[in-house]
Amino acid sequence: MKENTIFNGELLGTVLAVQANFYRVQLDEGVRSPEVISYSPHHPITLPADHLTLLCTRRTRLKKIGQQVMVGDRVIIEEADWNGGRGAIADVLPRNSQLDRPAIANVNQILLVFAVADPPLEPLQLSRFLIKAESTGLDVVLCLNKCDLITDTEKKDIGDRLQNWGYQSIFISVQNQININEISNYLNHKITVIAGPSGVGKSSLINELIPDANLRVGHVSGKLARGRHTTRHVELFELPSGGLLADTPGFNQPDLSCTPEELIYYFPEARKRLESGSCKFTDCLHRDEPDCIVGNDWERYEHYLEFLNDAIAYQNYLKEQSDPESKLKVKAKGKGKNQYEPKLESKKYRRVSRRVQVQNLQDLDLENEEEM
């Protein structure tokens, strides 16, 4: 019988899902090495394997010190909390990495999924996702689904184009079982976040990799050529060959929140040029400045300029927000883009609510007479 080993009444596990105030924790199997957990392994006791997953709450002490528990966190559960498949998280181990949107810890890589057809591949949208993925500092694996809907020549053209961007793409077809095993090899023994726009087959891919996941699958709108997002919350799924895979709600239209100065480093093809030398000006934004080593002779230069304008607008917005007399407000424009507009400066432009108007029957009668 498989057993989970507890040292000094404490067990180590990984948070798979967070919903409301409850945490689903997968317990580690087998004997843990002393370097993984800093508690001395004396007089171990064991727990049956049928308690491999616990539904947990968070200790009040963690709430008081403001310790957040995220999906992907490595947590410690005390033996005293074991009761009927439930427990309480006593502590959270230090994180190796952390994403805020979506909120998930200890991620190793991002699996970015796009479709080459139905919906068609949009280079600007793909660039936006790639920039957001690069900004996390994690490894990026680019996966292109529905390759059975295009010709070999089209596939080669797309692959060559993305290679010039700095990415080695993997062409797959979930429906026709093409290169699914190749994707599995990239996911072994790692925590991977899967991301991409709606309707490209993310949920179908997870269902193929992990049959027990049973995620709802959306359909692409024929009118909009866009899919409907089906994932409701962040959850880690265990891969049969080892590793964990997370689907990510809210990541289908990523925002760009980097500074204008760091944006250029999220383009691998431009970053390569910067590594070979430096620009004349230390504060160069690489848009037609003299002696700029980046130049404008690369395909995504227009994408860079558009994203740069977004980054500058975002930086100005943050500066304005730090000012108590800020006159800017943010307005979502869709597809991950925000627009920053001036606030109304005078109350005279605002309509008075009827709830604060003092009206009586005589006032209403006068209004009715004027209308007649």
Residue 34 has pLDDT above 50, yes or no: no
Confidence of residue 86 (pLDDT cuts 50, 70, 90): confident
CB of 161 within 8 A of CB of 116?
A: no
The band of 307, judged by pLDDT with boundaries at 50, 70 and 90, is very high
pLDDT of residue 317: 84
pLDDT at 44 over 60: no
8 Å CB contact between 121 and 154: no
Highest mean pLDDT of the ranges 157-166, 175-184, 223-232 = 157-166
Instruction: Give the least confident one: 11-20, 239-248, 331-340.
Output: 331-340
Residue 20: per-residue pLDDT: 82
- Return the axis-axis angle of helices 180-187 and 202-209, rounded to nearest 10°: 80
Q: Is the pLDDT of residue 129 over 90?
A: yes
Per residue in 90-111, is it b (16+ CB within 10 Å) or e — as a string?
Answer: bebeeeeeebeebbbbbbbbbb
Q: Which helix (H) or strand (E) holds 304?
A: helix 301-322
What value does the mean pLDDT take over residues 282-306? 93
Cβ 171 vs Cβ 159: under 8 Å: yes
Q: Which amino acid is at 64?
A: K
The whole-number pLDDT of residue 39 equals 32
- Kindly indicate the confidence band of residue 365, based on its pLDDT and cuts at 50, 70 and 90: low
pLDDT at res. 372 = 53
Per-residue pLDDT tens over the stretch 249-265: 645 567 778 899 999 99
At 31 the pLDDT is 32
Averaged pLDDT, 87-94 = 93
- Separation between Cα atoms, residue 102 and residue 124, nearest integer Å: 22
- Tokens representing 335 are 């597809």
Q: What is the rounded CA–CA span in Å between residue 263 and residue 257?
A: 9
pLDDT of residue 1: 36
Q: What is the pLDDT of residue 223?
A: 42
The mean per-residue pLDDT over the stretch 2-23 comes to 75
Mean pLDDT of the chain: 79
Rounded to an integer, the average pLDDT of 26-47 is: 46
Work out the pLDDT band at 94, boundaries 50, 70, 90: very high
Say if residue 119 is preceded by a cis peptide, omega within 30 of 0. yes
**C-alpha distance from residue 107 to each of 10, 50, 83, 262 (Å):** 24, 27, 30, 22
pLDDT of residue 106: 95
The CA distance from 169 to 173, in Å, is: 13
pLDDT digits (tens, 9 = 90+) for 193-245: 999 988 899 889 999 998 876 655 544 444 434 444 444 578 898 898 788 99
The answer to whether the beta carbons of residues 203 and 254 sit under 8 Å apart is no
Lowest mean pLDDT among 51-60, 120-129, 166-175: 51-60
**pLDDT at position 127:** 96
What is the pLDDT averaged over residues 313-322?
Answer: 83
